[in-house]
Amino acid sequence: MAARVIVIGTGPAGVRAAEALVEAGLRPTVIDEGRRDGGQIYRRQPEGFTRSYDTLYGTESARAAALHESFDALKGRIDYLPETLVWNITANAVHLVSGASYRTLEFDALIICSGATDRLMPVKGWHYAGTYSLGGAQVALKSQGCSIGSRVVLMGTGPLLYLVAAQYVKAGAAVSAVFDTSTLLQRLSALPKLLAIPAALKKGIALMGVLRKARVRVYRGVRPLEIGGSPAHGVSHVEVALQSGVPFKVACDAVALGYHLRPETQLADLAGCEFSFDEATQQWLPAIDEDGRSSVKGIYLAGDGARIRGADAAERSGRLAALAAMQDGGLKVEGLAALRAQLQVFSRFAAGLRAAFPWPARFASMLPDETIVCRCEAITAGELRRVVRETGAQEANRAKAFSRVGMGRCQGRFCAHAGAEVIAAAASVPLAFVGRLRGQAPVKPLPVTLVEQEEASE
Amino acid sequence: MSGRFVRLAETERRAIVITVDGVARQAAEGDTLMVALLTSTRTLRDSEFGDGRRAGFCLMGACQDCWVWTSDGERLRACTTPVAAGMSIVTQLSTAGEGVWPRA
């Protein structure tokens, strides 16, 4: 097959994809935005830091070490481009920027392993300094040995809520409260699916044990009311409605907020991949077949950037996508069936997590008008509702044109989901009807002083 | 002024000095610029849309809420930029004019 294969990302999916390609004698180009490999989940600490794998990755330390060792072993057999952003994809070419230099690379096959970011539901006051995503709170600790504050509230739902809380407790941070919007009943009803991977379920339960032992207050079935504070000094407290309906306030100087994850799909979008509305996750996802083939010939999607199934699944789907790419290139590949079967088990477990920690869509219609939806440009739910009411805009891109929700520097990563819910509720239409924000290049801000990088001599 | 972030580990690293809004502040080798700033200050920047001070959000280069200015007028995304000794960072917009330029 043609040798020009590019892998984007060096998290679990990207590393295993690159590894499969190298095993077959290919020399892929591996592009990663990070300074070091590992992605977010197995993010490596900076050079010179001394914490052990056990401290950094807990029960996942063996997996993290294995992934890092695998990637180290690939060096010299791949063309590795760290600290490099893919800011656009056109027909058979990726457009790269690193520092202030840009270049274009052509490909025959592209495997996008773009990972995920936190899925966010706004709450009044979440723009105050001191509110971070749950993933961000974890990065502060894992990558820099810091807590986001001296009294931290963790709020939202999803496995990350309990993982970050437990990691903070173990690291000696002061966790003032954990507010989970999902209920114990939802957790119990998800058990049959979660039993698809008993070991993972056991790890989740162990995290609860860590919190209980540290006497961290955990409240389930809450509805966030407000992150209190001031524009000048930031967060001062969190107020929620407890499951009983009683309002409850906790003082804090930092909040970690998140509702499970959403795939980073901008690159798949720019590559022209078809998307469809996924009822199970209530979000638009790029269409892929069982092995990760997108609707565009030569483009493959793997890991949490395609489907939120977690790191272990990402290792499998990354390898599987690479095998699919090689198969399409005329190479003989083995092991497809086993990987597909394993991924089905992870899919079942992922469905269990969604049932245990559901996205609280109903909160969007309950947001007070003054709540900021778009953090980038401080646009409120009331303004978005006014646009829907007065212009009749019911489609996400049209409502964006009138309201600017989704037009800011994050390009809708953190407001698009909730924004669509606000539009759907205000227009009384199903969420699928609102559609999704189109991806726009550049996917992240670029310096205006770009210099073309000279081709290295062959 | 006390900081927002609290150092819990890796506290044996070599100290370096940076300048934040004209004041010398201590940071550590290996810090991101964001951590270097927020371990001694409470906020990173003014929102251009009048809703107050911001201190970043995602820490992984996705939200773009942590861009700061150097005193030379260069813009840096604090969460993905390693700190270097001698950096001079401006976190506040000017109070003059429409306040869209950093306070030098």
- pLDDT bracket for residue A456 (50, 70, 90): low
Side-chain half-sphere exposure of A76, counting CA atoms within 13 A: 3
pLDDT tens, residue by residue, A152-192: 999 999 999 999 999 999 999 999 999 999 999 999 999 99
Distance CA A24, CA A332 (A): 9
**Res A458: pLDDT:** 42
pLDDT tier for residue A257 given thresholds of 50, 70 and 90: very high
Residues A115-153 have pLDDT tens digits of 999 999 999 999 999 999 999 999 999 999 999 999 999
Tell me the mean pLDDT in the region A201-226.
Answer: 96
Kindly tell me if the per-residue pLDDT of A387 is higher than 70. Answer: yes
Q: With H, G, I as helix, E, B as strand and everything else as coil, classify residue A420.
A: helix
Residues from chain A that touch B6, judged by Cβ atoms under 8 A, are: 146-147, 149-150, 173
**B84 inside 8 A of chain A by CB:** no
Torsion of CA A249, A251, A252, A258, to 10 degrees: 0
Q: Tell me the average pLDDT across A334-348.
A: 98
> Does the beta carbon of B56 lie under 8 angstroms from any beta carbon of chain A?
yes
Overall average pLDDT of the B76-87 stretch: 96
List the single range of A84-88, A133-137, A440-444 with lowest mean pLDDT.
A440-444
Q: Does this model's pTM top 0.80?
A: yes
Model pLDDT, residue A457: 45
Alpha-carbon gap, residue A224 to A252, rounded angstroms: 15
B50 touches chain A (CB under 8 A): yes
Q: Are residues A141 and B8, on separate chains, in Cβ contact within 8 Å?
A: yes
Of the partner residues B8, B39, B57, the one whose CB lies closest to the CB of residue A136: B57
Contact B27, B15 (CB under 8 A): yes
B100/A contact by beta carbon, under 8 A: no
Residue A404 CA: distances (Å) to CA of A55, A60, A384, B98: 43, 41, 9, 21
Q: A129–B62: do the CB atoms touch at under 8 Å? A: no
Phi/psi of residue A359, nearest 5 degrees: -65, 125
Residue B93: pLDDT band (50, 70, 90) is confident
The 10s digit of each residue's pLDDT in A48-57 is 999 999 999 9
| Percent of chain A predicted with pLDDT > 70 | 98
